[in-house]
Structure 1
Amino acid sequence: MHDVDFEVRPNEVVALLGGNGAGKSTLLEHLNGTLTPDAGELRVTGRKVTAETRSHARKEVGFVFQDPDTQLVAPTVLDDVMFGLRNYGVPADDARERAREALATVDAAHLEERVPHYLSGGEKRLVGLAGVLVLEPSVVVLDEPLAGLDPERSRLVADRIEAISREGISVVLSTHDIDFAASVADRVCVMADGNLVGEGTPQEVFYDEGLLERANLHAPTTVRLAKSLDVDGSRRPVTETELVELLSGAATPPSKTQVDG
């Protein structure tokens, strides 16, 4: 990466897009101090992150890795979600209560006695997310949260992302699933060749053909369909729901008043 200027704002979902090797995962690993820049600086809640303050970054910015097995370490799901709290010195009873609350938040309370490594991919991601949420971070970072998941489990993970966003936690995610990014993101940031080459709302980014071509990305299915149907270009639908609503409005017959007029 080089010359990257990136920030996460309060209460937003940011989707980081780009081809393989664009620098997405490297950028994400800087956000909680897993990596530190050779030049420039990283600040988390206003504090500069150094070797001495890296623990602050890791508490404020929770990271859910692409491979959930890398962060599942305990014999049961409940023990795993408690693990971070116990490392911070939280008493066992308090840690257990908070872990159960975090599992309930991601709709995984029924998994608490299960062995983590026997869970499905989607279940492991939910447990990893609970293990991050239990530490009450300001930001949650997810690297390819839908990788390897079937549609049902992808929808489950997407629902949990939207739910934690409604709780006021900012979310940063990298993904190759453009339709998913269009459905959940408030802001889209595009990377190419180790740099941030563009950003904006989904409507701004996904209708910018030059930017998408530069990053070797294609537009979401809805955008391509909207263009093929030649819908009102000023409306710029990016999700299936937005396109259906737009087409439904266009298909509504005129009222009698309009006809008579």
Structure 2
Amino acid sequence: MHDVDFSVYPDEVVVLVGGNGAGKSTLLEHLNATLVPDDGELVVDGTSITEDNKAHARREVGFVFQDADTQLVAPTVLDDVMFGLQNYGVPSDEARERAREALATVDASHLEDRIPHYLSGGEKRLVGLAGVLVLEPSVVVLDEPLAGLDPERSDLVADRIEQIHQEGISVVLSTHDLEFAAEVADRVCVMVDGNIVGSGTPRTVFYDDTLLAEANLHPPSAVRVVRDVGLDSTARPVTEADLVALLAGAGDSDAKRTPRFEEAEDV
């Protein structure tokens, strides 16, 4: 990591994208002081974080790791979600009630008596998320939250992420899935070689060919379809829903469509 200038604001979803080794996970691990910078400064809610007050960062910034097994430590799901609260001295009855509320928030109440390591990948992610939410952080950080999940589990985790954002919690996540990034991001940050080389809304970033080429990324399918078919890209669709809306409008006016091929009189 070098020369990184990165901020997270209230009530936003920030998505980090970039190739393998770009520094996404390393940057995320600084946000809750899993790592502390050798040079520069980490400030969380107005407090400069050092080795002596890392607990403040970890209270304010909850981290869900890519490998959910690394943060599942208790014999049952309910015990696991209670674990952080009990470390902070919360009485058992209160911790149990808050843990059940957190599991309900991520639609995982039915898992409370299960053994964590026997859960599916998607279920483990939800339990890890509940274990973070129970501490009532102002920011939730997720490293590759959809990695290794099938489409159904991916949709479930994505829905829960959107749900906690709607409840007023800022979300920062990394992903290789630009379709997912286009769906959830308020702001996209592109990383290359340990630095953020560009950022903006999905409609700004995913239509910036130079920036994507620098990061060795391909735009979401909606962007590629617009260009391949020759649609008017003024609206800059980035999601499937955006594209459907554009196509519906294009059907009403031939002026919105630019032919990709033109018939020649002589062949």
Aligning the two structures, in what range does the TM-score lie when normalised by the shorter sequence? over 0.9
Amino acid paired to 2:153: R
Corresponding residue of 2:241: 241
Equivalent position of 2:33 in the other structure: 33
| Post-superposition offset of 1:252 | 3.1
Query: Could you tell me how far apart the structure 1 residues matched to 2:53 and 2:11 are?
Result: 24
Rounded to whole Å, the distance in 1 between the matches of 2:229 and 2:214 is 25
In the other structure, the counterpart of 2:79 is: 79
Name 1:21's counterpart in structure 2: 21
For these two proteins, the number of residue pairs brought into alignment is 254
Is 1:114 matched up with 2:114? yes
Secondary structure, aligned partner of 2:131: helix
Helix, strand or coil at the partner of 2:63: strand
Q: Give the 3-state SS of the residue equivalent to 1:29 in structure 2.
A: helix
Once the two structures are overlaid, the 10-residue window that deviates more, 56-65 or 230-239, is 230-239
Instruction: Specify the code of the residue in structure 2 equivalent to 1:93.
Output: D
Aligned to 1:140: 140
The one-letter code matched in structure 2 to 1:209 is D
**Gap change, CA 1:253 and 1:209, over 3 Å in 2:** closer
Q: SS in structure 2 opposite 1:94?
A: helix
Partner Cα distance (1:226, 1:152) in 2: 27
Name the structure 1 match of 2:264: none
What is the TM-score with the length of structure 1 in the denominator? 0.96
1-structure distance, mates of 2:148, 2:45: 33
Give the drift of 1:52.
Answer: 1.5
For each residue in 1:203-254, what CA deviation from the matched residue of structure 2 results, as whole angstroms up to 9, or x when unmatched?
0000000000000111011111111122222100000001101111221379
Q: Following the alignment from structure 1 to structure 2, what is the Cα–Cα distance between the partners of residues 168 and 136?
A: 11
Q: Secondary structure at the match of 2:141?
A: strand
CA distance in 2, matches of 1:90, 1:226: 54
Shift >2 Å, 4+ stretches: none
Distance in structure 1 (CA, Å) of the matches to 2:232 and 2:43: 42
| Cα distance in structure 1, aligned partners of 2:226 and 2:240 | 10
Q: Deviations over 1:142-166 (max 9, x none)?
A: 0000010000000000000000000
Instruction: Supply the distance in 1 between the matched residues of 2:108 and 2:250 (Cα, whole angstroms).
Output: 42
**Unpaired segments of 5 or more residues in structure 2?**
255-267
> How far, CA to CA, are the matches of 2:97 and 2:212 in structure 1?
46
Matched, 1:180 2:169: no
Between 230-239 and 191-200, report the one with greater CA deviation: 230-239
Equivalent position amino acid for 2:26 in 1: T
Q: Which whole-Å CA distance do the structure 2 matches of 1:96 and 1:229 have between them?
A: 55
Quote the residue 1:4 is aligned against.
4
* Counterpart residue identity of residue 214, structure 2: R
Distance 2:131 2:229 in 1: 45
- 1:258 alignment counterpart: none
Q: Which amino acid aligns with 2:6?
A: F
Alignment match, 2:263: none
Change (3 A) 1:212 1:253: closer
Judging changes above 3 Å, is the alpha-carbon distance between structure 1 residues 232 and 50 closer, same or farther for their aligned structure 2 residues? same
Q: Are 1:214 and 2:214 counterparts?
A: yes
Partner of 2:60: 60
Q: Deviations over 1:44-86 (max 9, x none)?
A: 0010001121000000000000000000000000000000000
Cα distance in 2 for partners of 1:232, 1:163 equals: 33
Question: What is the rounded CA distance, in whole Å, between the counterparts of 2:136 and 2:188 in structure 1?
Answer: 24
Q: TM-score, normalised by structure 2?
A: 0.94
Cα 1:253–1:2 shift into 2, 3 Å = closer
Query: Which residue identity does 1:235 align to in structure 2?
Result: A
Aligned partners of 1:16, 1:253: CA distance in 2, in Å? 37
Q: 1:257 maps to which residue?
A: none
Whole-angstrom CA distance in 2 between matches of 1:132 and 1:226: 39
Query: What is the aligned partner in structure 2 of residue 94 from structure 1?
Result: 94
User: Which deviates the most, 244-253 or 229-238?
Assistant: 244-253
CA distance in 1, matches of 2:43, 2:144: 24
